[in-house]
Structure 1
Amino acid sequence: MKITEFMKSKKGASGIGTLIVFIAMVLVAAVAASVLINTSGFLQQKAATTGKESTEQVASGLQIIQVMGKVNNAADNIEYITLIVTPNAGSSSIDLSQATLMLTDGNKKVVKKYDLDNHDAFDFSKGSLFTGDSWGLISSEATEFGIKEIQDADESCDASTPVINKGDVVAITIKNPAAGGLTLDQRTPVSGTFEPEFGAPGVISFTTPATYLADGVVELQ
Structure 2
Amino acid sequence: MISVHKLLSKDNSAQIGIGTLIIFIAMVLIAAVAASVLIQTSGMLQQQAQSTGKQATQEVSSNLIVKSIEGIRANDNSSSIAGNVSLLKIRVGLNVGSSPVDLNQLILTISDGTNTNDLIYANNDKTYGSVMADFSVDANASTNLEKLLTASGTPGDNAKYFFTVQKIRDEDKSFSQENPIMNKGDLVTIYVSAVSDGDLSYSTIDSISVSGSQKDSNLDIGPRTTVSMVLTPEAGATTVAEFLTPSSYGTKETIQLYP
TM range (shorter): 0.7 to 0.9
Aligned partners of 1:50, 1:15: CA distance in 2, in Å?
52
Choose from 163, 169, 173 the match for 2:191.
Answer: 173
Q: Of residues 185, 193, 198 in structure 1, which corresponds to 2:235? A: 198
1:120 is matched with which residue?
Answer: 135
Structure 2 CA distance for aligned equivalents of residues 77 and 135 of structure 1? 19
Distance 1:211 1:121 in 2: 37
For structure 1, which segment, 189-198 or 92-101, has the greater mean C-alpha deviation from structure 2 after superposition? Answer: 189-198
- Whole-angstrom distance in 1 between the partners of 2:13 and 2:106: 80
Q: How many Å separate the matches in 2 of 1:121 and 1:144? A: 14
Identical positions, percent? 38
Q: Please give the TM-score of this superposition, normalised by the length of structure 1.
A: 0.83
Alpha carbons of structure 1 residues 144 and 157: separation in structure 2 relative to 1, 3 Å: same
CA contact (8 A) 1:121 1:146 kept: no
Match of 1:3 in 2: none
Superposition map of 1:201-220 within 5 A = 201-212=238-249, 216-220=253-257
Q: How does 1:79-158 map to 2 (within 5 A)?
A: 79-116=86-123, 117-118=131-132, 120=135, 125=140, 136=146, 138-140=148-150, 141=158, 142-158=160-176
Instruction: After superposing the two structures, state which structure 1 stretch, 21-30 or 33-42, moved more.
Output: 21-30
Q: Is the 8 A contact 2:122 2:135 kept in 1?
A: no
Greater Rg, structure 1 or structure 2?
A: 2
Q: Does the aligned pair in 2 maintain the 1:123–1:134 contact within 8 Å?
A: no
Structure 2: gaps (5+ residues): 1-9, 76-80, 124-130, 151-157, 198-216
Contact 2:144 2:164 in 1 (8 A): no
Change in Cα spacing, 1:136 to 1:115, as seen in structure 2 (3 Å) is closer
Unaligned runs of 5+ residues in structure 1 are 1-7, 127-131
Assess if the C-alpha contact under 8 Å between 2:112 and 2:225 holds in 1: yes
Q: Distance in 1 between matches of 2:250 and 2:140?
A: 27
Q: What is the RMSD computed on CA atoms of the aligned residues?
A: 2.7
